[in-house]
Structure 1
Amino acid sequence: MAFSPEKSKFRSPLKGPPSPSWNDLLLKNKKALNHVLFTMHLQSRSNKQTPSSSPSPQLRKSLDFTLPSLVSDPISLLSDQILLSILSKLPDSQRNCNSLVSKRWLNLQGRLVRSIKLLDWDFLVSGRLFVRFPNLIHVDLVNGSLISPGNAGVFCSNRLLSSHVDCSADAKDWFLKERFVLPSDEIDKGLRILASGCPNLRRLLVVNASELGLLGIAEECPTLQVLELHRCNDQVLRGIAACQNLQILRLIGNVDGFYKSLVTDIGLTILAQGCKRLVKLELSGCEGSYEGIKAIAQCCQMLEELILRDHRMEGGWLSALSYCENLNTLRFMSCKSIDHCGWFDEDVGSCPTLERLHFEKCQLRNKESLRTLFLLCQEVREVIFYNCWGLDNEMFSLSTGLRRVKSLCLESCSLLTTEGLESALLSWKEIQSLKVISCGNIKDSEISPALSTLFSMLKDFQWRPDTKSLLSAGLVGTGMRKRGSKLFKKTCDWKSLPGA
């Protein structure tokens, strides 16, 4: 029979009963502990009282009343501010568990929450949101604004939006019939409640808001800096003209399969005149032309980053980028084309401050539009091609005009070969960083001596064109990838790309 020392109650007769510790005696008899503490308190008062004086009965009664509570819950002595300072130092993974300790800890934990993604619209309208989380500064209302159909077993997800889908026979075009989102008056009501409950709001994500709803946010929340508008149009953009401190704006007009809305040059001009402190602007599914982009470039002189996702711009809009005086980063994401028109007036100029040019999941099939873009971006330092269709040797050779490139990242560009890569790399005299990942037509066996010498001089080098590449394994122990890494800090973080 197995012997368990934890469950066994046998004790040797040669040994007497275990002697209790002082902690056990004091905790079991609180009166004794109170007597000890009371005596210590009397000794501390001996300098202020005569030896013959004795504590009054009221003093003894007050000590007997308070001391047991101090012993049973010493944390209650700490103020809310001290507890908040302690709880804020804990990792996020432990905060949910801490809220289960007591109602006080639950309340304190709610005061530490600054960002929330709303899933229930009634939680906002009823006001319980601000009672539970009184210090919110980041609020996402998009998912809470969506109406999920009953008994929906299919979940449709997009990078910009996600919702359940009604797959019944009479539910054709569920999204396009505008039944999947709350009406504008309900959204505006929630925005008024949010503005009154979160006057320090800094970041807001909302769908199907109207001009009046955004005006209320702009008036009551002067610290608003980041705004993301889903399903917006030209009329809605009038409401953000009062957002004087807005710095980051994301406009989502069309999302394929979900909804359709229209943002044209009229809305872009209204935006440019109202939000002159913009630093970052993303136009997703928006229409427009040369005039709208020019208005933004001339009015928003602090603009540093421009992102175009699945744009529907008219031909010739690229030339307006030359009016951007401080543009630092230009990104194209999921664009079916860069510019329908290849016309470009070289006398217009270029973007002298542009340093980063990123392409992600774009169709690069129009040679004239790509050549126009490269003429505008002659001073670019970092170029990224991620999963772009149509990028072959001929299209990639247009980049040889970018003489100041220091960093190049290529991933999932299957049409590009080693020859096309070499022609561009050898023309870039300042190249310092190179990353080639999942490019099947770039082979180790086709690397020339000149290209090999260039690789050995790079400060940051990552080479995984395919699973059969031996060059990466051959560089182990040579220190090539580490050499100069401290001097070249502005390298491309490839893992930060969405979808990488």
Structure 2
Amino acid sequence: MLNFLFRLSDRNSSYLFLKIFSQFLLLYYLSKSPYLNLHTPRPVSQSGSSSPYSESEPESDASNHNSLPAATALLSDELLLKVLDKIHDRKRHITNSLVCRRWCVLSGKLVKLIDWEFLESGRLSFRFPNLEDVNLVPACIKSARNSGILLSSKLIEVRLSSGMVENGEGLFVRKGDVFESKEIDFGVAILAEGCKNLRRVVLMNVSEEGLNCLAKECELLQEMELHNCGDLALRGIYNCKNLQILKLNGNINGVYDSVVSDIGLTILAQGCSRLVKLELVGCEGSYDGIKAIGQCCQMLEELTICDHRMEGGWLSALSYCSNLKSLSFQSCKKIDENPGLDEHLGSCMILEELHLRKCQMQDKQGVKALFVVCRRIRELVLEDCWGLDDSVFTAATIFRSIRSLSLKGCSILTTQGLESVVLSWKELDRLRVVSCNNIKDSEITAELATLFSLLKELKWQPDSWSMLSASLAGTGIGQKGSRSLSWN
């Protein structure tokens, strides 16, 4: 049972199971919890005094801990956090924290605030003084708490009222639907003063003053996500000396509209020199802003560009990111409209991975320029990219050191286009092709079949009618210790 649970924990299909399992654990522990039994005395120490635990962290005596079932005792903190995270009701999170000391500590790492008054009153910091991770975005938006309309995406999740949906401005969240910056700054100051152990925070419409307070009070802060914040607000994170991960959301289509330009990117670069991972969503900018990040953030290893609004010529600035190891593009309508000459583009010298997901790649010039900048990569991932045909994919022959290729949802790329590129890669040892309907088993040549036999790892499922498994039966591929073949 326990092994089955661990296998499910990393799959999307485990959501329902974890939800049911969490409810079972909750009911069991609440039935055993001394906090629901008014006749159960509090443990007393040998000296006769009450246990020294504070009210903010309920105690759990040894006998109560030893009575925990083996299944829960053996669950790692990471897995138990996944279970608890599926419970979205704030009141239930508070109840969970009363089960035992371990659950109290873990619940304090998963707070998603939906009631702004709970923060302003000081109850949040009093209840969870050791809070490490908090999301204030749902509480920053003025919406009906009992609304049945939930806007959910990888970028944001908020409850919407009917008035917000019918506002006529083309945005789900207007400026008037969000608390003013002064009010949010006040709440952030209360949070920072009461929860000095914060390591991750998600904020919305906060100003320079609020971020300044957070930077001064929470020295352990390492990760931050900002929504709907303008350029000048970024001056507030100048004192976040230990900030390593930043996700900056400038403009989210249809949700809210704010501007982050070269000004904000330059301020960010000068203030966050220790950044290791940076994600820019809906940000404007140009060569100057990206160059400033590359020159100032010397420790930057991962950069993600999502739905960017960069001016032409910005790609050549990536060469200033001297320690960049992973570069990702997501939901970008363009790469670079005017990249310039290849000899002026430069190169990311130690870049290892390039990921493009849900991007429009019909601009051959922009794609070619990107490949020139990333020509030293060892891993290429292309998923659900529109416009990736044979002529565009041919530009990938510039990758001479590539070892791994993953293709998914590239519906107009053909078998000939794939073959013309992968046969030029002498070091390729891993290939994954999934849901690419124009790549056919019947068109596999002898050269391509030979390459398949030399690969260490092959996942081949270009379409639901793939018959490669039958044609390769008896070849021994997938039976050797260092090689594997999967077609399901």
**Which bin holds the TM-score, normalised by the shorter protein?**
0.7 to 0.9
Query: Whole-Å Cα distance in 2 between the matches of residues 301 and 357 of structure 1?
Result: 19
Query: Whole-Å Cα distance in 1 between the matches of residues 324 and 310 of structure 2?
Result: 19
Q: By how many angstroms is 1:295 displaced?
A: 0.6
Is 1:364 the equivalent of 2:361?
A: yes
SS in structure 2 opposite 1:179? helix
Query: Whole-Å Cα distance in 1 between the matches of residues 45 and 103 of structure 2?
Result: 18
- In structure 2, the CA distance between the partners of 1:81 and 1:73, relative to structure 1 (3 Å rule), is closer
Is 1:171 the equivalent of 2:170?
A: no
Match for 1:325 among 322, 338, 341?
322
User: Residue 186 of structure 2 corresponds to which residue in structure 1?
Assistant: 189
The one-letter code sitting in structure 1 at the alignment partner of 2:340 is W
Is 1:355 the equivalent of 2:360?
A: no
User: Residue 259 of structure 1 corresponds to which residue in structure 2?
Assistant: 256
Once structures 1 and 2 are overlaid, which stretch shifts more, 391-400 or 341-350? 341-350
Query: Whole-Å Cα distance in 2 between the matches of residues 384 and 148 of structure 1?
Result: 39
SS in structure 1 opposite 2:185? helix
Query: Whole-Å Cα distance in 2 between the matches of residues 196 and 351 of structure 1?
Result: 42
User: Residue 296 of structure 2 corresponds to which residue in structure 1?
Assistant: 299
Is 1:120 the equivalent of 2:107?
A: no
User: Residue 282 of structure 1 corresponds to which residue in structure 2?
Assistant: 279
User: Residue 265 of structure 2 corresponds to which residue in structure 1?
Assistant: 268
Q: By how many angstroms is 1:171 displaced?
A: 3.0
The answer to whether the 8 A contact 1:253-1:263 is kept is yes
User: Residue 154 of structure 1 corresponds to which residue in structure 2?
Assistant: 149
Unmatched runs of 5 consecutive residues or more in structure 1: 1-71, 489-500
- In structure 2, the CA distance between the partners of 1:478 and 1:204, relative to structure 1 (3 Å rule), is farther
The answer to whether the 8 A contact 2:250-2:260 is kept is yes
Q: By how many angstroms is 1:476 displaced?
A: 6.2
- In structure 2, the CA distance between the partners of 1:125 and 1:475, relative to structure 1 (3 Å rule), is farther
Once structures 1 and 2 are overlaid, which stretch shifts more, 288-297 or 468-477? 468-477
Match for 1:376 among 368, 373, 383?
373
User: Residue 446 of structure 1 corresponds to which residue in structure 2?
Assistant: 443
What is the RMSD of the two structures over their aligned residues, measured on CA atoms?
A: 3.0
Q: By how many angstroms is 1:480 displaced?
A: 2.5
Is 1:468 the equivalent of 2:465?
A: yes
Q: By how many angstroms is 1:264 displaced?
A: 0.9
User: Residue 103 of structure 2 corresponds to which residue in structure 1?
Assistant: 109
- In structure 2, the CA distance between the partners of 1:210 and 1:349, relative to structure 1 (3 Å rule), is same
Match for 2:129 among 130, 134, 143?
134
The one-letter code sitting in structure 2 at the alignment partner of 1:472 is S
Once structures 1 and 2 are overlaid, which stretch shifts more, 369-378 or 437-446? 369-378
**TM-score (norm: length of structure 1):** 0.77
Matched residues, number: 416
The one-letter code sitting in structure 1 at the alignment partner of 2:141 is L
SS in structure 1 opposite 2:341? coil
Query: Whole-Å Cα distance in 2 between the matches of residues 355 and 481 of structure 1?
Result: 27
Is 1:207 the equivalent of 2:204?
A: yes
Query: Whole-Å Cα distance in 2 between the matches of residues 219 and 74 of structure 1?
Result: 39
SS in structure 1 opposite 2:256? coil
SS in structure 1 opposite 2:212? helix
Unmatched runs of 5 consecutive residues or more in structure 2: 1-39, 52-58
- In structure 2, the CA distance between the partners of 1:260 and 1:372, relative to structure 1 (3 Å rule), is same
The answer to whether the 8 A contact 1:99-1:109 is kept is no
Is 1:406 the equivalent of 2:403?
A: yes
User: Residue 456 of structure 2 corresponds to which residue in structure 1?
Assistant: 459
Q: By how many angstroms is 1:267 displaced?
A: 0.9
SS in structure 1 opposite 2:177? coil
Query: Whole-Å Cα distance in 2 between the matches of residues 85 and 201 of structure 1?
Result: 27
Larger C-alpha radius of gyration, 1 or 2? 1
Q: By how many angstroms is 1:99 displaced?
A: 8.7
User: Residue 140 of structure 2 corresponds to which residue in structure 1?
Assistant: 145
Query: Whole-Å Cα distance in 1 between the matches of residues 256 and 114 of structure 2?
Result: 20
Query: Whole-Å Cα distance in 1 between the matches of residues 328 and 442 of structure 2?
Result: 33
